[in-house]
Amino acid sequence: MWRSFAEHLHFVATADDAGYEELRRTLDQLDFALGTHANRLFYLATPPAAYEAIVKAIGEHRLRGETGWARIVVEKPFGHDRSSALELNEVVHTVFREDEVFRIDHYLGKETVQNILVMRFSNGIFEPIWNRQYVDHVQITVAETIGVEERAGYYEQAGAMRDIVQNHLLQLLALVSMEPPAAFDDKAVRDEKVKVLRALRRMTGEDLAMNAVRGQYTRGFIEGVPVPGYREEPGVAPDSRTETYVALKVWVDNWRWEGIPFYVRTGKRLPKHSTEIAIQFRVAPHQLFSREALAGLEPNALVLRIQPDEGISLRFGAKVPVQGIRIRAVNMDFDYGASFMVDAPDAYETLILDALRGDATLFTRHDEVDQQWTFVDPIISGWAQSPQGLALYEAGTWGPTEADALIERDGRKWRKA
């Protein structure tokens, strides 16, 4: 199968006008030879700085074809801030209509991320308690053990805020906090996500100083192996102030979530590779049991394990089987691997197929990207004004102590993800 597929792969280098002309000729010849109808999916997996020029070239060299459909997939980050995202959007819209633009955020292609909507909206039992009456707070963690790897050129400009928070993390937050869409289609789902993204309280001044922490890893150990600090990585400036860790306390200012904090964090070179969303519930309103009996009880939590070890668990208290009452936290566990016994498709497989089919439900619309930048821009510019606010953390630890203080101030703790 691969051999016959590979015969249809062609490579054309398109660095200049002559290259784009050659690409057009190649595409036209293929249409003619194979009797295809010029359906074209352009996929920009290039440095973001090249996006505008490529889109313009697609337009100028009439690469869209005339008889079929044309779509463009654009990798993140879409823009460097809100204004550059708007500008890029305008350029893209000179060649492609919005319904032909597929802004990719590969987290949306992950099975477990799609399952957030399935879990919330195909079941009757979760939605009634999914609100300020029953939820105490929500924690979202995107923890990585890897460092910056060979991507310093990109990462130095991006930092964890643009690399993870602006896209993956805010998408997870949107999916977990959005209102139920009326249908499972690209318009209804994305309309609801935009609404909730718009409800995120903007952070400035005092709020920013209290509720946003950024850090950078220094040398340390990952699984017992020594690793260099961020500033010692190849391609990183020795005095770099780029953040490799972010923790935020986020408020969703709407009816459902009023007063319920969302604590979110992401970092590189943390002790564990783990992405999870934990919904922590309020404690029982009245306690029958003695303080000693309750010593082993932890707050009820529903944990969506996005990766690895994909699954969902519900933590609650159970009676320890001894004389008298002793209570301990136990987990009721759903495990993807054990339940379905199939390997989930890779996020990119799902998304590329969706783009070929023209289904944009799992891609971000321009107004979502716009709201995401609207939320992160003031944080990034606030930080730029106080460069001394970058906290350091040793590789292999759970981030700077300032991040612990951010949540412990509220009498809560980060989960051991």
Cβ at position 93, least distance to ligand BG6 in Å: 24
Cβ at position 99, least distance to ligand BG6 in Å: 24
Cβ at position 142, least distance to ligand BG6 in Å: 7
Cβ-based nearer residue to ligand BG6, 22 or 144: 144
163 part of the interface to ligand BG6, by CB under 6 A: yes
156 part of the interface to ligand BG6, by CB under 6 A: no
Which residue has 């199968």 as its token pair? 1
Cβ at position 232, least distance to ligand BG6 in Å: 18
Q: Cα–Cα distance between 2 and 11 in angstroms, integer?
A: 17
367 part of the interface to ligand BG6, by CB under 6 A: no
Cβ at position 170, least distance to ligand BG6 in Å: 13
H or E element in which residue 306 lies: strand 301-307
Cβ-based nearer residue to ligand BG6, 144 or 377: 144
Binding-residue total with ligand BG6 (CB under 6 A): 2
Cβ at position 380, least distance to ligand BG6 in Å: 16
* Whether 168 is catalytic: yes
Note whether 366 and 101 are within 8 A (CB). yes
Q: Cα–Cα distance between 367 and 345 in angstroms, integer?
A: 28
Among 22, 81, 144, 394, binds ligand BG6 (CB under 6 A): 144
Q: Which residues of 349-378 are buried (b: 16+ CB within 10 A; e: fewer)?
A: ebbbebbeeeebbbbbbbbbbbbbbbbbbb
Active site residue: 10, 61, 93, 168, which one?
Answer: 168
DSSP character at residue 267: E
Q: Edge-to-edge, what's the strand order for the sheet holding 390-394?
A: 327-335, 311-319, 301-307, 274-281, 135-143, 261-267, 245-251, 212-218, 390-394
Cβ at position 267, least distance to ligand BG6 in Å: 11
Q: Is the peptide bond before 387 cis (omega within 30 degrees of 0)?
A: no
Per 3-state DSSP, what percentage of the chain is helix, strand, and coil (rounded to 5)?
40, 20, 40
Q: Cα–Cα distance between 275 and 288 in angstroms, integer?
A: 36
Which residue has 């308690």 as its token pair? 129
CA 109-271-375 angle, to 5 degrees, is 50
| 138: nearest Cα among 227, 36, 259 | 259
Note whether 106 and 351 are within 8 A (CB). yes
Which residue has 């929500």 as its token pair? 138
CB-count exposure of residue 10 (10 Å: 0-12, 13-18, 19+): exposed
- The first and second tokens of residue 54, run together, are 């490529």
Cβ-based nearer residue to ligand BG6, 149 or 258: 149
* Active site (catalytic) residues: 168
- Binding-site ranges for ligand BG6 (CB under 6 A): 144, 163
